[in-house]
Structure 1
Amino acid sequence: MSVRTDVAALLARYDEDTWVALANRGLLRRARKDLEQVAVRVAAEDDASVTVAVGDVLVRLGPAGPAGATCTCPSPVICRHVLTAGLWLAGEAAGEGDADEAPPGQASPEQPSQDRAPQEQAQALHTELMTLDAAALTAYAGLAGYRWAHRLLDDADSPPVLTRDRYLTITFPRRGLTARYLGGGLDALVLDQTVPDVARFRVAAVLAWQRAHGLVLAAPPAPRSRSAEPSATSVSRTASRERLRATAAAVLRDTVRVGVSHLSPALHDRLVTSAVWAQGVEYHRLALLLRRIADEVELLLVRSARADDLALLDDVAVAHALVAALDATAGREPAGLLGRARTSYDAVRRLDLVGLGGRPWRTGSGYHGLTCVFWDTTASRVLTWTDARPEGVPGFDPRARWWQPAPWTGLGAPAQAAGRAVVLTQAQASPDGRLSGVESTSASLDDLTGTALLDALPVREVWADLAAHRSTGLLDVVDQASLWTVVRPAAALPAQWDPVEQTLRWPLLDGRGDVLVVEVPWSRLHAHAIARIESLGAGLPAGACVVARVQRVRGRLVGEPLSLVLPDGTLDALHFDPDPEPSAGSALVAGLLAAGTADRPTSPETADGAPGAVPAPVAAVRAVVEQAAQRGCGGTVPGDVHRRLAAAHAAARAVGLAVFVEPDPALDPAESLLRSSYLVQLVERAVG
């Protein structure tokens, strides 16, 4: 086969999405107009390339296709002439172009490969990627690029998503980046975003495909320093991290030694200092947890009704375990333990979203804001946009923000996105699924009619499936965005108000009779949603879905409602939309407002709930830990804490929970209490 035939066969596999990924939709439209208005012909052909004349411009294409094409126009990137030439050759391969007839007596070119069965075609592309070895990939991207590609895959929270159809696609969910392979070698691998050093991303895509099919190429060795001694900067950060771990562990133990019910301002200052220090040495996850603990301690110090010393104890135990894990992996800490800086965003050329509604919230540390939730139909994940301010900032109202101008050009207000298709171009998204409000992002809206909204969402009807998709490890990386889900209840029971917890609970039943309790803690920002759910109660329309944030809290699944998707495909934002059947108003909400009831913290990070059904011996261990930690173990009789913990652990082992081993009597009592608290939380998650 000639080069012309090879290139034409490659281009014939390009579909609309691939052409758009090469440039953009507007440039593709211009190229198609040129194809109708400008004369296109083959100007030259040799063993390495084919040159196509597009009017007065010459475009040279080789086996890599448009990715390696050159054009005589001054454009430094892929231009419309390259697209026009590619479209013309693709049409020629499909029998639609003005291909030259074969000379008399010479056989016509053999049938192009795009006419083969799609499975056969995809298998050939698969074989091409699987035959690329470490030497070829290193030669293409360099040793540093090859090493970077391995690190990208090793540090990913979830593996890339692979599909195989007419061609192969590799999607990196966190980056919103899709690589398409239609043949032609590494240079022909098409990325749908402009990225720095494209070669290393192409190598990462190949490695991802190979790993998914059982081939794991060896990673190159770590780069060696020119000197046998590590750099001063490396030594400094390593030593600083070591000191931080010792300092953080000491302050966490002191919270239990002093007693979580009567902490001091000095301990609060130590927590804040440790959090700042952790951020400085890039222990991002530990810094976030220490900041949350410091905020809770501050609430306890001011005797706030929103303070919870037992929730504080749970967080302290998890932070203590995280410090121990960082200590055990010092110098080779996995990305999941280190965490990521919250300020990092990746550019995404296009996002196809569906607006799922919004919720106002207020944290215990004095911030309030609005969070809007979107479903990414391409990457099958949830993305969120948040606007937040300290409560003291005048002129900011989280509820009013719903109807005020949105951050992106083309979207008048966040409310306009609810229940509609939203296309964002030139967006910025963080690895944990947050959207930036940068002005360079533009939005376009489209209505979803009939069942289009429901068809675009992943609906779950069995609550056991929700439990199966929740992490059971306290130190496992929890993707906060993945907690949002869409459930379709078989029935709903009337909502009940818990006056002790100051929380409205709405039981939703699945077809098996299992119950998912949707909860709304009291807040003036949630008064509208509480009134809506109270009036709705058991009257949820048959076939309606509930969009909720579902997580495991102390051994049980708890949902936080966002909106309803009604059977006719419309979206009802519970926090903002009016009741379709207005009544005289909610007596419950009116009473709470009149009584001046204090708000409960409503941010996603501070949700809590009653303990679920766990074995009695586990509850007994928790009781021992909480009693000792609330009072403080610093002034207890020597050996008393160990004796009580040993008895509680023995009772738990007697019912088969071997994880509760005999406590080490040589350990500091505070250390023993924190270890036992961590074990209790693990078991509650596993069996609750």
Structure 2
Amino acid sequence: RAEVLRLEPAAVFKAAGIAASRKAAALLADTDGAVITDTPGALSIQLPALDVPCLYIAGGGYASMVSEAPAASRAVVHLLAVLAVWRRHGREFAWPEALAATAPAAAAEDGLSGDERQFLARLRALVLEICHGGWAHVSEIMPAQLRALAMSARIESFPRLAAMLRTLAGTTDLLAKRDLGADERQAIRLAVRIYALSHALEGARGELLRDLRGAVRRSFNGGDALELLPLGAHWWELRSGARGLTMAFWDPAAQRIMQASLARRDGADRSFNRHMAWSGGALWPGAGAACTLGGGTLTLSNVRASDDHRISLSAETSASMLPPWRADDARWQAAGHDDWASLAEAIRQGAGLRGEGIDCVLLKPSRFDQPVLDEIRQVSSWTLRDVHGHPLTLRLSCDPQHHLRIDNIEGWAEQGPIIRGVLARLERDLHGSRLEPLSLVVERNGVLRAVSLDYEAPTNRASVSLLQRIARLFKSGAPETSAAPAATHSDWLEHLRLIMEDKALTGRLHMTGEDQDSLDSMHSFLRASGLDLVANALRRYLDQPGAEQAMALMYLCQACADAGDVATTFGATR
């Protein structure tokens, strides 16, 4: 450690090179949270944001550093590791003057650099290799290769690709281990999106290129004080083992939802659980635990927020609590969506490779129906009505992790105070898209309060016996508001997508006689339906079956399905 602190900054930057120094300057925030450990004869530096450990060998200088980073990214990773030690101990350093002098003035206008194009080519080659071999037969080396690509994507300023590759690496790891929770089709659909994004990046310029790159998710900047209305919290767990509590807030100045997450990675902090996260300690100095924030408004000073509207749980941020908003407050009247048609348009604009995907929405129903539990489909449905009386149905699967939330929704809808707002998350899976309720904003005596459905039940709700619940299920025979019927070609597109995914699962992309007849019929129907873009992609695959043609065809089917999901979810309002 002492040896690293004695290194001369000028010599280190010279050894790393100007290109690596420029990339490291853009990723300096990734040195936050570094784990620095003294070991016999070496210093271990773990950079969680890049998911790679580095070793500084005693007596060897900067050149002696070793890591598992890809060769093309090694200089950047090693430089960031040294900078992490310097920053931790307050060692001052100055960036090389040549950094600003040689910075490309119009990189976004000129498109991608040669290194970036080489990276995208390596990425597509690996995705095609997995597709050729079949996603049901993923080898054990693929997850590590995908993680290395995710780190390279981060270094090459492709944060959106980096996040997608990390997710794909986690799913692929489960596939390689033959885990029962692995989902091959989920992996295929994510890989298809990654492949399409890499192609779109290559030809992009200017603002389009910046949008496709995405925002650096953990790069926080200081800002002015921020006044926020808490919207509640929800607990989540991922297949990778990561878990956490996410608090949502409404920012009236920017008219958007902000989020802050208290989370742990797989295997980290065994004492961290849903109850400790909810009531264990203050999120920021001056604020209470998450369980205390629902009854007021929050002001944050020296707040650090990322471009994707996430707030850092930094000790440098100070907080203070203010009285809650009233239901007639002009800021609340302007918040969220009370017209489902405008909500559908906002979600539609956020779809695609370029749009900023919508994760959570604040719904302000004028009234609502009682929740209905469908025992056959194992789904709880709750229909909200907008200012025009149009219905929008929120759904929760009856999984064990949702049981408490479903019960609390029933309680608040039956006997709770007036429900003024519902925070819902847009979930996408193999069965399409749906909105899931996370928390409520209720009014009591004219004052608004956030209710977290994973934790808070109405205190005045009488207990319901099993016989009463069964009787209520039989009485709640009112048919659920049906969505608009799907167009005929939607079934054909879904069938085509499943056929292509089956081929990607096995790696058998060649055509058999039966396949040829089936796909020829689909091609004729798509052409007759006016879906020329998909029909042309199918024809290219029929003429030359291969992974590239299959990827393009699956992406077009997937894009059409996403658009159809929006139309189906909000069809009753159109």
Structure-2-length-normalised TM-score: 0.67
User: Could you tell which deviates more after superposition, 470-479 or 280-289?
Assistant: 470-479
Could you tell me how far apart the structure 1 residues matched to 2:456 and 2:282 are? Answer: 18
Which residue does the alignment assign to 2:300?
424
Q: Deviations over 1:592-651 (max 9, x none)?
A: xxxxxxxxxxxxxxxxxx9993523222322322222223225x3479867754542331
Matched, 1:280 2:155: yes
Which residue does the alignment assign to 2:409?
533
Could you tell me how far apart the structure 1 residues matched to 2:115 and 2:205 are? Answer: 12
Could you tell me how far apart the structure 2 residues matched to 1:337 and 1:297 are? Answer: 24
Larger gyration radius, structure 1 or structure 2:
1
Which residue does the alignment assign to 2:127?
252
Residues 512/547 of structure 1: CA separation in 2 closer, same or farther (3 Å cut): same
Displacement after TM superposition at 1:335 (Å): 0.9
Which structure is higher in RCO with an 8 Å CA cutoff and minimum separation 6?
Answer: 2
Question: Equivalent of 1:675, from 552, 557, 560?
Answer: 552
Question: Equivalent of 1:337, from 203, 212, 222?
Answer: 212
Displacement after TM superposition at 1:434 (Å): 0.8
Could you tell me how far apart the structure 1 residues matched to 2:225 and 2:282 are? Answer: 18
Q: Deviations over 1:90-147 (max 9, x none)?
A: xxxxxxxxxxxxxxxxxxxxxxxxxxxxxxxxxxxxxxxxxxxxxxxxxxxxxxxxxx
Residues 620/391 of structure 1: CA separation in 2 closer, same or farther (3 Å cut): closer
Matched, 1:613 2:486: yes
The answer (yes or no) to whether the contact 1:463–1:516 under 8 Å persists in 2 is yes
The answer (yes or no) to whether the contact 2:287–2:319 under 8 Å persists in 1 is yes
The answer (yes or no) to whether the contact 1:563–1:573 under 8 Å persists in 2 is yes
The answer (yes or no) to whether the contact 1:633–1:669 under 8 Å persists in 2 is no
The answer (yes or no) to whether the contact 2:419–2:440 under 8 Å persists in 1 is no
Which residue does the alignment assign to 1:570?
449
Q: Deviations over 1:148-200 (max 9, x none)?
A: xxxxxxxxxxxxxxxxxxxxxxxxxxxxxxxxxxxxxxxxxxxxxxxxxxxxx
The answer (yes or no) to whether the contact 2:511–2:545 under 8 Å persists in 1 is no
The answer (yes or no) to whether the contact 1:494–1:537 under 8 Å persists in 2 is yes
Q: Which has the higher helix share?
A: 2
Q: Deviations over 1:53-103 (max 9, x none)?
A: xxxxxxxxxxxxxxxxxxxxxxxxxxxxxxxxxxxxxxxxxxxxxxxxxxx
**One-letter amino acid of the counterpart of residue 486, structure 2:** A
The answer (yes or no) to whether the contact 2:247–2:290 under 8 Å persists in 1 is yes
Displacement after TM superposition at 1:539 (Å): 6.7
Q: SS state of the match for residue 562, structure 1?
A: strand
The answer (yes or no) to whether the contact 1:531–1:586 under 8 Å persists in 2 is no
Question: Equivalent of 1:359, from 223, 234, 238?
Answer: 234
Which residue does the alignment assign to 1:447?
323
The answer (yes or no) to whether the contact 2:411–2:457 under 8 Å persists in 1 is no
Could you tell me how far apart the structure 2 residues matched to 1:498 and 1:632 are? Answer: 38
Q: Which runs of 5+ in 2 are unaligned?
A: 1-99, 470-482, 566-574
The answer (yes or no) to whether the contact 2:216–2:307 under 8 Å persists in 1 is no
Question: Equivalent of 1:659, from 501, 517, 533?
Answer: 533
Which residue does the alignment assign to 1:461?
338
Displacement after TM superposition at 1:391 (Å): 4.0
Displacement after TM superposition at 1:385 (Å): 0.8
Question: Equivalent of 1:518, from 385, 394, 404?
Answer: 394
Residues 226/579 of structure 1: CA separation in 2 closer, same or farther (3 Å cut): closer
Which residue does the alignment assign to 2:365?
488
Q: SS state of the match for residue 265, structure 1?
A: coil
Which residue does the alignment assign to 2:562?
685
Matched, 1:547 2:547: no
Residues 508/653 of structure 1: CA separation in 2 closer, same or farther (3 Å cut): farther
> After the TM superposition, which residues 388-403 of structure 1 pair with which residues of structure 2 at under 5 Å, given as runs?
388-392=263-267, 393-403=269-279
Displacement after TM superposition at 1:453 (Å): 6.4
The answer (yes or no) to whether the contact 2:252–2:335 under 8 Å persists in 1 is no
**One-letter amino acid of the counterpart of residue 523, structure 2:** H
Displacement after TM superposition at 1:524 (Å): 5.5
Which residue does the alignment assign to 1:319?
194
- Identity across matched positions, percent: 26
The answer (yes or no) to whether the contact 1:360–1:526 under 8 Å persists in 2 is no
Question: Equivalent of 1:474, from 321, 341, 352?
Answer: 352
Could you tell me how far apart the structure 2 residues matched to 1:406 and 1:514 are? Answer: 41
Could you tell me how far apart the structure 2 residues matched to 1:581 and 1:245 are? Answer: 58
The answer (yes or no) to whether the contact 2:147–2:166 under 8 Å persists in 1 is yes
Displacement after TM superposition at 1:486 (Å): 2.4
Displacement after TM superposition at 1:540 (Å): 7.5
Displacement after TM superposition at 1:489 (Å): 5.1
Could you tell me how far apart the structure 1 residues matched to 2:458 and 2:180 are? Answer: 31
User: Could you tell which deviates more after superposition, 569-578 or 636-645?
Assistant: 636-645
The answer (yes or no) to whether the contact 2:296–2:325 under 8 Å persists in 1 is no
User: Could you tell which deviates more after superposition, 507-516 or 438-447?
Assistant: 507-516
Which residue does the alignment assign to 2:243?
368
Could you tell me how far apart the structure 2 residues matched to 1:467 and 1:475 are? Answer: 18
The answer (yes or no) to whether the contact 1:554–1:685 under 8 Å persists in 2 is no
The answer (yes or no) to whether the contact 1:554–1:681 under 8 Å persists in 2 is no
The answer (yes or no) to whether the contact 1:370–1:401 under 8 Å persists in 2 is yes
Q: Deviations over 1:253-276 (max 9, x none)?
A: 233322223322133233222222
> After the TM superposition, which residues 584-599 of structure 1 pair with which residues of structure 2 at under 5 Å, given as runs?
584=463
**One-letter amino acid of the counterpart of residue 652, structure 1:** L
User: Could you tell which deviates more after superposition, 636-645 or 416-425?
Assistant: 636-645
Could you tell me how far apart the structure 2 residues matched to 1:226 and 1:574 are? Answer: 50
Could you tell me how far apart the structure 2 residues matched to 1:226 and 1:487 are? Answer: 48
Could you tell me how far apart the structure 2 residues matched to 1:670 and 1:498 are? Answer: 41
Could you tell me how far apart the structure 2 residues matched to 1:494 and 1:552 are? Answer: 21
Could you tell me how far apart the structure 2 residues matched to 1:454 and 1:575 are? Answer: 29
User: Could you tell which deviates more after superposition, 548-557 or 286-295?
Assistant: 548-557
Residues 488/654 of structure 1: CA separation in 2 closer, same or farther (3 Å cut): same
Which residue does the alignment assign to 2:203?
328
Could you tell me how far apart the structure 1 residues matched to 2:417 and 2:337 are? Answer: 17
Structure-1-length-normalised TM-score: 0.57
The answer (yes or no) to whether the contact 1:556–1:612 under 8 Å persists in 2 is no
Displacement after TM superposition at 1:342 (Å): 2.0
Matched, 1:308 2:187: no
The answer (yes or no) to whether the contact 1:555–1:687 under 8 Å persists in 2 is no
Residues 684/622 of structure 1: CA separation in 2 closer, same or farther (3 Å cut): same
Q: SS state of the match for residue 411, structure 1?
A: coil
The answer (yes or no) to whether the contact 2:408–2:456 under 8 Å persists in 1 is no
Q: How many residues align?
A: 437
Could you tell me how far apart the structure 1 residues matched to 2:154 and 2:117 are? Answer: 14
The answer (yes or no) to whether the contact 1:633–1:670 under 8 Å persists in 2 is no
Could you tell me how far apart the structure 2 residues matched to 1:363 and 1:581 are? Answer: 34
Q: SS state of the match for residue 302, structure 2?
A: strand
Which residue does the alignment assign to 1:380?
255
**One-letter amino acid of the counterpart of residue 629, structure 1:** A
Displacement after TM superposition at 1:445 (Å): 0.9
Displacement after TM superposition at 1:243 (Å): 2.6
Q: Deviations over 1:308-354 (max 9, x none)?
A: 22222211111110111122238997111222322211111210111
Residues 638/460 of structure 1: CA separation in 2 closer, same or farther (3 Å cut): same
Residues 652/439 of structure 1: CA separation in 2 closer, same or farther (3 Å cut): same
The answer (yes or no) to whether the contact 2:347–2:357 under 8 Å persists in 1 is no
Which residue does the alignment assign to 1:155?
none
Displacement after TM superposition at 1:552 (Å): 6.6
Residues 541/684 of structure 1: CA separation in 2 closer, same or farther (3 Å cut): farther
**One-letter amino acid of the counterpart of residue 371, structure 2:** P
